[in-house]
Chain A
Amino acid sequence: MNDLYNKNQILKKTPLTPQVDQMDIYAPAIAKAAKPGQFIIFRTNEKGERIPLTIADTDPNTGSVTIVFQKIGAGTMALGDLNEGDCLLDFAGPLGVPSELPEAGRVAVIGGGLGCAIAYPQAKALNQRGVSVDLIAGFRTKEIIFWEDRMKNVCENLMITTDDGSYGFNGFVTQALEENIKNGADYALVIAIGPVPMMKAVSALTKQYGIKTIVSMNTIMIDGTGMCGGCRLTVGGQTKFACVDGPDFDGHLVDFDEVIRRNRNYTDNEKAAMRRREEHCRLLAEK
């Protein structure tokens, strides 16, 4: 091997907002194989969890895989503690079925918050094959907007929305989408990626207009290869595994309320893990 970098080495770390970091990880096999919609699973240390993250971008030439994550739990905070040059203990993928993207027509790609990073590769792939892309990127407020320039480059129209009206369109992504539809945008497909309530709201809206809608389900999982079944969800009355049947599903068929409930299964454990981490950090600070 004449590799310049070590396996799973962090090539670049870019803070995007106080809570969100971008990391480019050296993983040439994954960079070569990955397609839009697929995800990786990482672990930072021996005692850490296996955490799935959808791939935000890849560069097969440099062997780099881009992930964007919010430092929201003990595991993602541990990842955020790492710096350029450090290596992740494990980085496995690409997992999941690649998104089925159309070859022509007009598509609305909708990202919500962190989901914008995952909606980005879909928009990029569609744009590259000549599909007209309207990218609607929703954020809570102006301060947490990221990748505006990057997103602009992979679509025909970028529409940034903020819930509080501090930047761009004042309102939710659903309102922006409905405005476009009413203004005559004849979408062949809507791709919605973000918090489950957002995907639920988008799917409810597009159902009214009869527009096919794909959502990306990030449910609780361990292995990501079909082994644990923890990620199961109900789609059109059938049990599906998000890791091997998805993560993309028909938004009009997903039982979102069940997903929201199941994703809360370990809330108490997660709170305890955060308390342990805070305690640990406090002890370190005192030393």
Chain B
Amino acid sequence: MEEKIKINPALQKTPVAEQPPLVRNRNFEEVCLGYTEEEAKAEAARCLNCKNHPCTEGCPVNVKIPEFIALIAKGDFEAAYQKITETNALPAVCGRVCPQERQCESKCVRGIKGEPVAIGRLERFAADWHRANGKKAETAAAQNVKGKVAVIGSGPSGLACAGDLAANGYQVTVFEALHTAGGVLSYGIPEFRLPKAIVAEEIDALKAKGVTFELNTIIGRTITIDGLFEEGYKAVFVGSGAGLPSFMGIEGETLNGVYSANEFLTRVNLMKAYLRDYETPIIRHKNVVVVGGGNVAMDAARSAMRLGADNVYIVYRRGEEELPARKEEIHHAKEEQIDFRLLTNPVKILGDENGKVTGVECVRMELGEPDASGRRSPTEIKGSNFVIDADAVIMSIGTSPNPLIRTTTEGLQTNKRGCLIVKEDDGVTTTREGVFAGGDAVTGAATVILAMGAGKKAAKAIDDYLK
């Protein structure tokens, strides 16, 4: 019998519990505490379950959003989780880190008047409910009969690709250069936004499906792609990400106290420098300038604050509207007393006689007309230079793909930016026979969900190739 859910007419999202800003900005515990069952049902009842499902179109992996939300509204939380996992292997991750306001939630009809349905929070709720109450995945569901496939990199694209291939009966080995699997989910995104226990559980779930993980294995060095083929792998997926940090090329970037966001976040997240009993050295700087306006910049700034800084600045050359980070991260960062210095660009990093950072000379910027990409390009206001006192600078202005694989593999072509070239029609077939690629290694730095979407596409393409 179909139980009729009464639509919740509230114009705002059901509020979600969070740690108070001035408490959480001194600890690394998760910021958002997630919905209770009652809150989730109330929020789910805001969904109109409209016919043409624009939200699903807005999702890079086309999660069946109205369907899973209807199941939450009914209180069948496990079924909701199962519905999500039909197309998304990592709901606990995506519910937390997807830029929903630019994807599913941007298409929500409820968003025309009021706030859209809190799809991200509901996805997270279903995944967390399953983690706490659901059944563990059955072990070794598929019998590995279809041949060996190598997946390079254990980040979002690699995990998504490995999951789909294993479910389809392939014998999958994931190669990871670091000592912990997860890629950016492990080394980049901080604990307070994505608890590492969740990442570990997702990886355990893949192991239960029969996926093997080879850690500490650097493809291109420990073994090459040619070596993998010699070892009997029938196809290779390259999901090696975009890990190489960019610097601005301004004076003072090699001073002590200047870090790439990658270095800073890797020390904190992967190497657990925020925990006193870990040996990883980290300097607890007092005045920190973070250059950049993306999610990584927000993560670095909020981590620096949690390590005990007095002042943390986000220095970004464009304005508020142009900040590329998720809205929620910007909101959280501001609540946590991160000081946003927008329309500001560093021109020089200042140091003392010992080569330690003492400040950042900046210049104010103004926005011109929109350029070809539609973004308004910033230009310097002459003579507006000023100094921000700082003992650390964290450069978070982007990353590019690591050259290790392209320089050690014949026939694998890349573009000017070092991104792997793929066939236009499927977006995952590289210029080398039997080698597929996806995620940041192809697109340059992007999002977790886009990388997962590419990993899934590649799994399909590999299956077609090996059939």
Contacts and interface: CB of A to CB of B under 8 A. Distances in A.
Contact of B283 (A29, A94, A226, A265): A265
Contact of B179 (A43, A94, A273): A43
Given A92-B217, A228-B266, A261-B355, A75 B279 contact: yes
Interface in B354-403: 354-355, 402-403
Contact of B218 (A93, A266, A270): A93
A222 B266 contact: yes
B326 to A, nearest CB: 23
A125 interface: no
B263 A92 contact: no
Contacts of B282: 269
A226 B254 contact: no
Contacts of B217: 29, 92
Contact of B221 (A33, A74, A229): A33
Tell me what chain A mostly uses at the interface: helix, strand, loop, or mixed. mixed
A129 B271 CA distance: 42
Interface residues of B, number: 41
Contacts of A234: 254
B221 A228 contact: no
A89 B272 CA distance: 16
Interface stretch (B10-18, B100-108, B240-248): B240-248
Contact of A91 (B216, B260, B403): B216
B260 A228 contact: yes
A48 B223 CA distance: 26
B260 A89 contact: no
B85 interface: no
A50 B221 contact: no
Given A222-B263, A226-B243, A273 B218 contact: no
A287 B150 CA distance: 50
A97 to B, nearest CB: 9
Contacts of B256: 261-262, 264-265
A90 interface: yes
Contacts of A239: 247, 249, 253-254
A94 B221 CA distance: 6
A223 B176 CA distance: 12
B137 interface: no
Interface string B119-150: 00000000000000000000000000000000
Contacts of B215: 90
Contact of A228 (B245, B257, B355): B245
A33 B223 contact: yes
Nearest to A95: B221
A47 B281 CA distance: 11
Which 7 A-B residue pairings sit nearest by Cβ, starting from the closest? A269-B281, A92-B216, A228-B263, A229-B260, A266-B281, A227-B243, A90-B179
Interface of B: 177-179, 187, 215-218, 221-223, 243-245, 247, 249, 253-254, 256-257, 259-260, 262-263, 266-267, 270-272, 277-283, 354-355, 402-404
Given A33-B221, A222-B263, A230-B263, 19 more contacts: A74-B279, A90-B215, A92-B216, A94-B221, A223-B177, A225-B177, A226-B403, A227-B243, A227-B244, A228-B266, A229-B260, A229-B263, A232-B247, A239-B247, A239-B254, A261-B256, A262-B254, A262-B256, A264-B256
15 contacts: A29-B223, A49-B279, A50-B271, A74-B279, A91-B216, A92-B179, A92-B217, A93-B222, A94-B222, A227-B244, A229-B247, A230-B260, A230-B263, A265-B256, A273-B281
